[in-house]
Structure 1
Amino acid sequence: MTTSGRMGPDDQSVNTAPVDDLHKRPENTHWILYSVLAAAFVGLLVWGLVVFNQHKQSAEAVAKATELSERFERAGLGPLDVDATARVLGTDGAAACTDPDNALKTGVLDQQLVSGAAGPGQRPILATSNLVECERLAISVYCPDRSAEFESAVTDLKLVDEN
């Protein structure tokens, strides 16, 4: 020990005084983090608004669904839920207008495959004319330009009238 009572560097001393360098840091060291978080928040906000507005029903979708429901009633097929029809078919007819003849073929095939019967018990069904008429009305409202394509697909079908 030295004569002053302090330990010197030769005495293998450890300085245990706390180091406080917070006052030396500039106050805005986290500006990058705050900027990234703000940009992410704004981005999520914009995305949420866009998605929300896409799911709102437009007046055109409701008008087309109302017209389809009226045509169903005139044809004796019963009324449709206009809100549900507007959500499902929208303004462009969705799957009903994408490929009308292929959708009908796929539906008939799926019905035959999932009938529950197998082997000799499995047999084709005769679809009702109402099924085709429903599709015909939907196409006439949502995509009348595809009517000829649909009519050519259903000309060879054997249909039965529902009693």
Structure 2
Amino acid sequence: MSPTRFASQHKWIYICAIVLLVGFVVVGLIQYKAVRSTNQALDKANRLADEVAAAGYPRPDPSALARVLGEDGGIVCEDPASALKSALWKINMSNGATGPGQRPVIADRQAVQAEALVLKVYCPDTLHRIQSELEDLKTDQTVRR
């Protein structure tokens, strides 16, 4: 049997090997991008965890922060200075009642600073837009430590 006849009879083996090789390259590139993205998310989560610990809070789990906030801050960084986000944020700093019983309260200073830390790490370009609102809030030490 001649070598050219052998190669032509088993051409499908070469074709399958090439298709598999191309498939492995594509999967490898996709995995590389996912791992790089995960590493960036963990880096930012570690930075935030360090900032939170430096502010006096217990250090949160960086892997949980990375899952929630990702590498871009997720919904936290989607226009935090908008009127709707500002209103929702202020509602969360109320007495917890609903309807006519809901009242504003004096928020804890550290809780307000914690929100600013998230913005500082994940979207520092938007922090200055709500900094004035943060400074206008009446805060005090309202939580026992």
TM-score (norm 2): 0.64
Share of identical aligned residues, percent?
A: 32
Contact preservation (8 Å) 2:41, 2:66: yes
Residue of structure 2 equivalent to 1:139? 119
Alignment of 1:63-78 (within 5 A): 63-78=43-58
Contact preservation (8 Å) 1:127, 1:158: yes
Deviation (angstroms), 1:79: 0.6
Distance 2:126 2:99 in 1: 36
Deviation (angstroms), 1:152: 1.9
Gaps of 5+ in 2: 1-29
Pair 1:115 & 2:96 matched? yes
**Compared with structure 1, are the counterparts of its residues 117 and 146 closer, same or farther at alpha carbon in structure 2 (3 Å cutoff)?**
closer
Distance 1:95 1:78 in 2: 23
Q: Secondary structure of the equivalent of 1:100?
A: coil
Deviation (angstroms), 1:101: 2.9
Residue of structure 2 equivalent to 1:62? 42
Which has the greater radius of gyration? 1
Letter in 2 for 1:106: L
Q: Deviations over 1:41-96 (max 9, x none)?
A: xxxxxxxxx8xx87x96100001001100111111111111111001111111122
Gaps of 5+ in 1: 1-49
Alpha carbon RMSD of aligned pairs, Å?
A: 2.7
TM-score (norm 1): 0.58
Distance 1:132 1:116 in 2: 20
Distance 2:122 2:102 in 1: 35
Letter in 2 for 1:148: H
Q: Secondary structure of the equivalent of 1:106?
A: helix
Contact preservation (8 Å) 1:69, 1:79: yes
Q: Secondary structure of the equivalent of 1:155?
A: helix
